Amino acid sequence: MPRRGPPVKGHKARTRKGSAAASGAGPRKGKPAPGGAVRDAGPSGQVPKGRGAHAAGDDRPRRPRAPDDQGAAPSREPDPAHRGVESGEEAAPARRSHRDAGPRGAKPAAKPHRSTAKAAAGPRASAKRRAAARTEGPAPLPGKAELRAFLAEATGRVTKSDIARAFGLSSDQRAALRALLRELAAEGGSAPAGKRAVIAPSRLPEITPVEITGTDPDGDPIARPVGWQGEGRPPIIYMRPEPAGRPALTAGERVLARLKAIGPGKYEGRTFKRIGGAPPARILGVFEEGRIIPTDRRQKGIWQVPPGEEGGARPGEIVLAEPLPSTRHLGPKPARITERLGVMGEPRSVSLVCIHAHGIPDVFPAEAVQQAERAKGVAVRGRTDLRDIPLVTIDGADARDFDDAVFAEPEGEGWRILVAIADVAHYVTPGSHLDREAWARGNSVYFPDRVVPMLPEALSNGWCSLRPAEDRGCLFVEMRFDAHGRKHGHTFGRGIMRSAARLTYEQVQEAADAGADHGTLPPGHIARLYGAYRALLGAREKRGTLDLDMPERKVDLDSHGRVTGVSPRPRLDSHRLIEEFMVAANVCAAEELERLTQPCMYRVHDRPSDQKLEGLRQFLATFEITLPPSDRLHPRDFAGVLGKVRGTPHERLVNEAVLRGQSQAAYAPDNIGHFGLALARYAHFTSPIRRYADLLVHRALIRGLKLGKDGLEETEAARFPDTAEHITSTERRAAAAERDAVDRYLAAFMAQRVGESFEARISGVTRFGLFVTLEENGASGIVPLGSLPDDRWDLDEATQTLAGRRTRLTFSLGQAVEARLVEATPRTGGMVFHIMQGLPSRGRGRPAPKGRQRERRR
């Protein structure tokens, strides 16, 4: 609520964000602020920050106009001299605060003449007075860069009137301003906020519908905006506790919340109005003593199972349940068990929880299974015979399907590379039962103990898997490169092949290091593959790509499904070899479809957003590392950042920060290029067994090259936009489920080591505590604020530090610490640590008494 009454007395009064006007406080209408500073408040109470709207009490210099590619004119600097009416000039007086007036304690300047103050009173003055206060001639229209900066700095919604006042525009320029705002909205530079206002695209409106997703470690609700359509992950909203006498907010409930930004992608929210929202449609948890304990760590509630609603479930079983009607506001809510899934702790129970938690379909319809089982081998007729070429598959030791094979040989001073891919389109025809199920799944999902395939096993591990010494149908691309990795040409075809060997990455790497070949392969076969790889790698390095060093975590299981170890998966040159061959084939597929004027399901990766870049710049500044301006940013600039920290203790942390700062890759029928790979066009062609996008690219190539009657159909092409959105979401769902499974397995492994101390680094700093990542195996967990030494802790968002006022202890992002594991919960995958720094020796590792956390936060 805006503060009513006279302004705060004294020039030392503290205001948020440098301006009391930002909170709605200000002098009464028609009266200037003390010291000659006049407030120019917009209709919502905020002070527009821009030319002609310098807020009173804000001693920052005015922002010069940003350069814009639309041809914006240079900004006009205000007259530094204070001009009064006595001078006979019509210009408005310069707006100054007490801090501008001189050294501390100096007497404020005399108040300006009443007529001058009224002339500069902005929207509160009459049109005649405002016209007298304006300079000669209309101001030039702001550029798009200026408008983006203006929206980013605004504290709330902004109307066209606010923009016109801030930039000194006349009524004759309103039409041009409307056109400019339409262009800005079309480019994604603004988002609607009501009928007549806009906000920055990365900012939420002041009143927003949100859905409660869980609670933080303090028990306070956490929410996310309903229907989030922005870039990347939705912002986190920390809801304030409900007033006494009102029921607490629970997961699944929706409210209208009044928001206040507290950091990049973070808001504080207060309930404005409850708008309903249902409890979850289904509940996944472990049945214990008549209650269901959710497996989602974000859900703190417990569900009571009334007598007779157990559905035969026994204690310790993983169950699915549905909420029952209830008028109860306090205590556990009732639920009915509908399905028993297995016993928690048994082999494969972790992946079972993740499958159901993320809604991944894991049972094929009978019609799809029957169609797969009727499949047969392909005929040679109409296909190019590649069976005499020693193509080999190179995959992980635990791979269950082999959908790509490679071959390379020197040709003149360059290289001839052949990439053959399983002909899935021959078996999965448009509109069939298999096709509908593959579309619904979108992709395969890989867990440490099982695979949920996109296609039934009869195809994924059978006719579509390029097994050694067995004839298989394929789509292939033959590529020719010079010695420097520049492509001279390519040819696609439909063939029949016979794999010469099934190799693992480790076997290929060992053979390359020893200068030998594996098994029955022709002499020099591996060496020729590496020769072609080095040529492609040279072209990649010259192109300048983003190559993040983020090793995957490998979970080792014994025969009983128990975790025996978790370690980083090594990244070898053999991995990079296959990656370079596949990238080259994918580029050729996109180029070929464009040449044939066929629809293409592109793999796109946009440039980082301005909001993410700003957060990344602030983080890198703590290491004295800078990035070029966003309009000149190239993937090689990020490669330079990673090169500066390579081999340092901060290497992993900076790699993770750069990864979080990127946009997410997606599928789209319209091409915008691939920023990370520095490629103008890119599509997925090499894994149709496990990705539906690749199957669509195969069908488009078959239709365009007239390689058969099972190509892309017009109905499929017409729904490319919907399909792109769908398979992008299923890909992200699969990635989240796979991460979730690794976290749960890691928690199960670490549960045996509770009480041990580990070397770790701080990987997150929040208002409710810290997050740490262990150096040994990458396990991550929370350090609650209550476990830190008794103090009042201040969070600095800019530097990502948590500082104690009394103890003078400081915890910063990337700092090396010693962490003791105090809790590991395989059911949810959550782990809790205590940091040993700053604790007295006799109480080292002992959590602080309860109640301290709340006391410090007040």
Distance CA 216, CA 713 (A): 49
Per DSSP, the residues of 509-553 read: HHHHHHT---TTPPTTHHHHHHHHHHHHHHHHHHH-------PPE
* Whole-angstrom distance, CA of residue 608 vs CA of residue 612: 6
Q: What is the DSSP letter of 240?
A: P
The mean pLDDT value for 739-746 works out to 90
H-helix or E-strand spanning residue 619 = helix 610-621
- Select, from the ranges 348-362, 584-598, 624-638, 842-856, the one with the highest average predicted confidence (pLDDT): 584-598
**CB-based contact 693:727 (threshold 8 Å):** yes
By the 10 Å C-beta count (0-12 exposed, 13-18 middle, 19+ buried), 835 is classed as: buried
Lowest mean pLDDT among 92-96, 147-151, 514-518: 92-96
What are the Cα distances from residue 520, in Å, to 73, 402, 685? Answer: 72, 19, 29
Across-strand partners of 492?
Answer: 477
CA distance 697 to 703: 10
Please give the Cα distance from 323 to 332 (Å, whole number): 11
* 286 contacts 293 by C-beta, under 8 angstroms: yes
Reply yes or no on whether the pLDDT at 35 is more than 50. no
Give the H/E segment covering residue 591. helix 573-595
User: Which residue carries 């190559």 as its tokens?
Assistant: 547
C-alpha dist (Å) from residue 58 to 5, 15, 145, 201, 609: 21, 10, 23, 26, 28
Nearest-Å Rg of the Cα atoms of the chain is: 32
Query: What are the structure tokens assigned to 302, written together?
Result: 């417990």
Judged by average pLDDT, the poorest of 32-36, 458-462, 466-470, 541-545 is 32-36
For 104, residues 6+ apart whose C-beta sits below 8 A from its C-beta are none
Torsional sign, CA 621, 624, 629, 635? negative
Query: E strands within 632-698?
Result: 666-668
The DSSP code sequence of 246-257 is: SPPP-TT-EEEE
Give domain limits for the chain: 16-165, 207-274, 283-344, 366-547+578-600+687-729, 607-662, 754-857
Handedness of CA 847, 850, 851, 854 (dihedral sign): positive
Q: Which amino acid is at 446?
A: Y
Q: Which residues, other chains included, contact 471 with Cβ-Cβ below 8 Å and sequence gap of 6+?
A: 377, 378, 387, 496, 497, 498
Q: How far is CA 15 from CA 18, 152, 420, in A?
A: 6, 20, 66
Tokens (6 digits) for 654? 């900076």
Mean pLDDT of 119-131: 46
Reported confidence tier of residue 82, pLDDT bands at 50, 70, 90: very low
Q: Are strands 757-766 and 317-323 parallel, antiparallel or unpaired?
A: unpaired
pLDDT at 845 over 60: no
The least confident of 119-128, 296-305, 635-644, 738-747 is 119-128
The domain 207-274: what is its CATH number? Answer: 2.40.50.140
The per-residue pLDDT for range 235-258, each reduced to its tens digit, is 888 888 888 767 777 667 788 888
Task: Pick 834 or 143 by higher pLDDT.
Answer: 834
d(CA 158, CA 154): 7
Q: Tell me the pLDDT tens digit for each residue of 272-322.
A: 888 765 555 678 888 888 888 888 766 666 788 888 888 888 888 888 888
Distance CA 600, CA 333 (A): 50
In this model, does residue 4 exceed pLDDT 80? no
Contact, 303 vs 283, CB < 8 A? yes
- Which residues are 801's β-sheet partners? 796, 812
More confident residue, 815 or 466: 466
Q: What digits encode the pLDDT tens for the residues 790-833? A: 888 988 877 788 999 988 899 988 888 999 999 998 888 889 99
Dump strand ranges (E) for 707-829: 757-766, 769-774, 780-784, 793-796, 801-804, 810-812, 816-825
List, in sequence order, every residue forming a beta bridge with 553; answer none if it has no partner. 568
Under 8 Å between Cβ of 369 and 380: no
In Å, how far from its chain's centre is CA 620? 18
Answer yes or no: is pLDDT of 391 > 80. yes
Q: How far apart are CA 181 and CA 200, in angstroms?
A: 12
The predicted model gives 194-222 an average pLDDT of 74
Average pLDDT of span 266-273: 85
Question: According to the model, what pLDDT value does residue 844 have?
Answer: 41
With cut-offs at 50, 70 and 90, classify the pLDDT of residue 153: confident
Q: How far apart are CA 482 and CA 676, in angstroms?
A: 24
Q: Assign domain 754-857 one CATH number from 3.40.50.2300, 3.40.50.300, 2.40.50.140, 1.10.490.10.
A: 2.40.50.140
Task: Please report which residue ranges of 661-706 form alpha helices under DSSP H.
Answer: 692-705
For residue 52, the model assigns a pLDDT of 39
- The three-state secondary structure class of 8 is coil
- Write out the E strands in 363-470: 384-385, 392-395, 404-411, 414-422, 445-446, 451-452
Question: Does 754-857 match 207-274 at the fold level?
Answer: yes
Name the residue with tokens 């104690």: 804
Q: State the greatest distance between any 2 C-alpha atoms of the chain, in Å, as a whole number.
A: 100
Q: Are 311 and 336 a contacting pair, CB within 8 Å?
A: yes
Burial class (CB in 10 A: 0-12, 13-18, 19+), 397: exposed
Residue 521 CB contacts under 8 Å (≥ 6 apart), including other chains:
390, 392, 500, 501
Cα 578 from Cα 368, distance rounded (Å): 32
Q: What is the mean pLDDT of residues 627-631?
A: 85
pLDDT of residue 1 exceeding 50, the answer is no
Rounded Cα gap, residues 352 and 109, in angstroms: 73
Cβ 754 vs Cβ 823: under 8 Å? yes
Whole-angstrom Cα distance, residue 681 to residue 669? 12
State the chain's mean pLDDT as an integer. 79
- 3 state SS of 736: helix
